[in-house]
Amino acid sequence: MDAAEFRRRGKEMVDYVADYLEKIEERPVYPDLEPGYLRDLIPTEAPCEPESFEDLMQDVERVIMPGITHWHSPNFFAYFPAASSYPAMLADMLCGAIGCIGFSWSTASEATLMSLLAARCKAVRRVQAVESERSESDVLSKLVAYTSDQAHSSVERAALIGAVMMRKVPTDEHFAVREEMLKKMVEEDKAAGLIPFYFCATLGTTPSCAFDHITKLGPLCNKENMWMHIDAAYAGSAFICPEFRPLLNGIEYADSFNFNPHKWLLINFDCSTMWVKKRTDIIGHWQIPLGRRFRSLKMWFVFRLYGLKGLQAHIRKQVALAKEFESLVQADNRFEICAEVILGLVCFRLKGSNELNQNLLKRITKSREIHLVPCQLSGRFVLRFAICARTTESRHIQRAWRHITQLAFELLQEQPH
């Protein structure tokens, strides 16, 4: 492909992408195919001779699209948002063309690991400064980290990779960590000869978007020489709105902070930001790979072309849609809300057994009209309704609720009385 063909095909690709996104609502949000379906649709070997761009694009629709879960469909309400915008797509194109390699950007999972490794090194140096006879291996064997029992699995994975013990702190009735419980565990561990060194707090947990009480947890961590890392992967984007900034109170006690603009700030995956209080603490642990793509270019494009007001409007709109869905659930006495709705996530369920709600989700998934995923809250099987797509409007919320209630009605009719 030379420059002339690239110009022509590039315009065609832009048209294809624009058509795809404008008509994405017409596609089933969730594929009705089994893993491995591609095996019968593609050759066992790569072609010996070049093939045409037209044939390739035909196979995108024939081979690729049938197996896609359309994350940017307004009927997608699973997980958390995967941000997308036209400015970010243009920036991604330019990013690929420039092709420079950056050296300091992490994903949220890497940010947790990097902060833990930095905290581990800092703790070893601190102990050995007082007890020079202690070996590094001895100190490492005594280190203990903490996180919420609602924290993302990547936090526990960071401890496994970092070869340190990690304890999960039980949460309160709002699924948040309070100072009293962490303090109790720290005191128990210190009495047992262990060395508390790290706490990963979460602002906006994955299951229910709960917020740990960092205004109280922060001073405790500072007093105990424990590194406090804050994982705000999803909720961090909301802090650009003044009305949500109080959720960030206590940030001054943190040693590091991370959020993912690629979740909710209209920047395509992947783009994750990390701050550290003292650069010298983490300079040897910026990230796992040496090189990174020019992700900040995407942020620059989106910030310039949307402006702060445009980004705030996006956040506020999606929070309002979540509140709209919450009100629909509350108006139906067959259902219940299972966690406070703070941002763009609603946790709800049918009143009844876990099995009943598991069956409801199976029917929702099988229908392929909308896509949801579950979580476990206090031993209960709960459905998560997250406002994800940039194009989701009130009519999608209303239609999704009608679909859910229709399936729930059919399911309840089948139950023995």
Nearest to 394 by CA among 311, 325, 326: 325
For residues 146 and 188, what is the distance between their CA atoms, to the nearest angstrom? 13
CATH number of the domain where residue 273 is located: 3.40.640.10
Q: Residue 226: inside a domain, yes or no?
A: yes
Residue where a domain terminates, one of 67, 101, 135: 101
Is residue 212 pLDDT above 50, yes or no?
A: yes
Q: Residue 396: give the domain boundaries.
A: 311-414
The pLDDT tens digits for 349-371 are 999 999 999 999 999 999 989 99
Q: Residue 305: inside a domain, yes or no?
A: no
Bridge partners (DSSP) of residue 203 are: 211
384 contacts 78 by C-beta, under 8 angstroms: yes
> Does 407 lie in the same domain as 259?
no
Is residue 242 pLDDT above 90, yes or no?
A: yes
Is residue 82 pLDDT above 50, yes or no?
A: yes
Is residue 105 pLDDT above 50, yes or no?
A: no
> Does 216 lie in the same domain as 127?
yes
> Does 382 lie in the same domain as 256?
no
Q: Residue 300: inside a domain, yes or no?
A: no
- Residue 168 phi/psi, 5° resolution? -95, 130
> Does 248 lie in the same domain as 112?
yes
Give the other-Cβ count within 10 Å of 214's Cβ: 27
> Does 328 lie in the same domain as 250?
no
The pLDDT tens digits for 44-64 are 876 767 778 888 888 888 888
> Does 231 lie in the same domain as 120?
yes
Is residue 101 pLDDT above 60, yes or no?
A: no
Residue where a domain terminates, one of 46, 81, 101: 101
From first CA to last CA, the distance across the chain in angstroms is: 67
Give the other-Cβ count within 10 Å of 52's Cβ: 8
The pLDDT tens digits for 304-352 are 778 888 889 999 999 999 999 999 999 999 999 999 999 999 999 999 9
Two structure tokens written together for 82:
């995967």
Angle at 341 between CA 336 and CA 345, to 5 degrees: 95
Higher pLDDT, 141 or 291: 141
